[in-house]
Chains A and B, each alone.
Chain A
Amino acid sequence: MFDNFGFFFPRILEGLPQTVYATLGGIALTIVLALVAGLAMLSRLRVVRFVARVYVEAFRGTSEVVQLFWIYLVVPILVGFQVVPLAAGIAVLGLNHGAYGAEIVRGAVQSVPKAQVEGAVALNFTPAQRLRRVVLPQAFVEMLPPFNNLFIQLLKSTALLFFINVPEMTRQVEVLRPNFGESLATMYGIILVLYLLLAIVITGVMRWLERAAARRLGRRPPSRTSALAKVSAGGVG
């Protein structure tokens, strides 16, 4: 059933760079948009909060595939030039996941104790310094686990880019499929594993960041085994 691995693997692997570019570009845009929109949702100015809210609801509430077709097919008609498929794909991935990330940023910033801000006010930090020097560094560690999830979702969403002809891994399989119908298990087996490996890389990086950030805050690095041990021992910390 899993025959001709040596034939399919290099062909599918040719799509790996595009998948990686789309993922990294999407993550970069996600981080920027999540920060901007997440902080905007906490603004004192009602208009700013409103604009951020509209962005978040618009992108969370509509289909990613439809957004792709919009940017790839409809926008060129409106503005008169074609967008590079990969760029269009990164834009949609970033805008979409940025909308989810905005809620993560907002929640993490709000989770920083008010007393920390008051400590900063008492030292006469400006509002921007309070955010930059005190609140965000502490919120950062809270953002990492949910962002890990979000980035893995983004990685998996890069498969949708085959709809707009980005030559990423899934697209490679789609191109091969009509001629090699008898090898579907091999082809889909290969990309399944490749996506899994990429997801493991993302998780590895994020957990490393999480441990580093926890250390900086003087917390003990999160460890799943000790948490489980605590639960099974039925004890408290």
Chain B
Amino acid sequence: MSTDSTDPTITFDAVTKRFGAHVVLDELSFTVDPGEFVTLIGPSGSGKTTILRLLMTLEKVDGGTISIDGEYLSHMERGGKLVPADEKHLSRVRRRIGMVFQQFNLFPNMSVLRNITEAPTRVLGLSKGEAEARAVDLLDMVGLSDKASAHPTQLSGGQQQRVAIARALAMRPDVLLLDEVTSALDPELVAGVLSVLKEIASTTDITMLCVTHEMQFARDVSDRVMMFDSGRVIEDAVPEKLFTSPEHDRTKEFLSAVLNRA
């Protein structure tokens, strides 16, 4: 699906996002290459969630453009001009992106299995059998084969989050967005979810953009770590570099604050 392998999968080009007068992203530019695992870190309120929500088309940009494999996400071309994307265009580009939320957002009106099969059948047009086979494989991968017919509310937070990961993967996205997926979990449940993510990172070529406060995890799996503050990338490096010898004082302060808290 990816075109020329040198083209970035995700491109933010001078993206500005405001909430009222509050500028959250200030002409932000960065790219993510195909198959790359990039972690975003930064203080609370720095705009990490906003970046993922913009990619998932849950928010609209106020300036600049976002593209996936060279195709505009926030905009579309019409008569040689760039106009804001309509629902049809959004639906086409969204097809390539999946997201896992901090609070799981499983659908309480469906069983675990239905949570995973509903979109593949209704959106991708898979048959019930195909979708269920896919779901069974994914439940196996996240270690929840025995929970297919359970109800989301009967699962622990960690189990729910693993179902949410399976649900996102069932759509076979090219890009997977992970927003603090372990922050809402009890400490003893975090490891199970992280190990599932590690496996996905190492066995698939899905491009992953991950926001996390789990620094050890970030260090283990990331190809690259970006440090955010005040709506800009202030440092962008491979994990060994960023965690052991950060260049910016702001990054040092942030890392020591996070490590002391832990």
Point out residues on A near B: beta carbons under 8 Å: 115-116, 118-127, 129, 133-134, 137-138, 216-219
Contact = CB atoms under 8 A, between A and B. Distances in A.
Given A122-B94, A124-B119, 4 more contacts: A122-B56, A122-B97, A122-B168, A127-B87
17 contacts: A115-B103, A116-B105, A118-B101, A119-B101, A121-B58, A122-B101, A123-B118, A123-B119, A123-B168, A124-B95, A124-B119, A126-B123, A129-B122, A133-B118, A138-B109, A216-B109, A218-B152
A123 B103 contact: no
A130 to B, nearest CB: 11
B58 A125 contact: no
A120 B94 CA distance: 11
Given A115-B105, A116-B107, A129-B123, A123 B167 contact: yes
A14 to B, nearest CB: 44
A212 to B, nearest CB: 12
A121 B95 CA distance: 10
Contacts of A122: 56, 58, 94, 97-99, 101, 105, 168
Contacts, number: 69
B174 to A, nearest CB: 13
B171 A115 contact: no
Interface string B93-132: 0110111010101111100000000110011000000000
Contacts of A134: 107, 109
Interface residues of B, number: 28
Contacts of B107: 116, 119-120, 133-134, 138
Interface string B16-38: 00000000000000000000000
A124 B99 contact: no
Nearest to B123: A124
A140 to B, nearest CB: 9
A116 B154 CA distance: 18
A22 B100 CA distance: 50
A115 B108 contact: no
B123 A219 contact: no
B91 A218 contact: no
Given A118-B58, A122-B98, A217 B119 contact: no
Contacts of B109: 134, 137-138, 216-217
Nearest to A213: B109
B151 interface: yes
A126 B108 contact: no
A138 B91 CA distance: 24
B95 A118 contact: no
Nearest to B167: A123
Interface in B26-62: 56-58
B153 interface: yes
Contacts of A118: 56, 58, 101, 105
Given A115-B103, A122-B56, A122-B168, A218 B108 contact: yes
A138 B123 contact: no
A115 B87 contact: no
A100 to B, nearest CB: 25
A214 to B, nearest CB: 10
A119 B94 contact: no
A121 B91 CA distance: 9
B61 to A, nearest CB: 16
The 5 closest A-B pairs by CB, nearest first: A119-B105, A218-B153, A123-B119, A218-B151, A137-B109
B91 A124 contact: yes
Contacts of A125: 119, 122-123
Interface string B53-89: 0001110000000000000000000000000000100
Contacts of B151: 218
A18 B192 CA distance: 63
B57 A121 contact: yes
A124 B108 contact: no
B101 A124 contact: no
Contacts of A216: 109
A126 B105 contact: no
Contacts of A138: 107-109
A118 B58 CA distance: 7
B112 to A, nearest CB: 11
Contacts of A126: 87, 91, 123
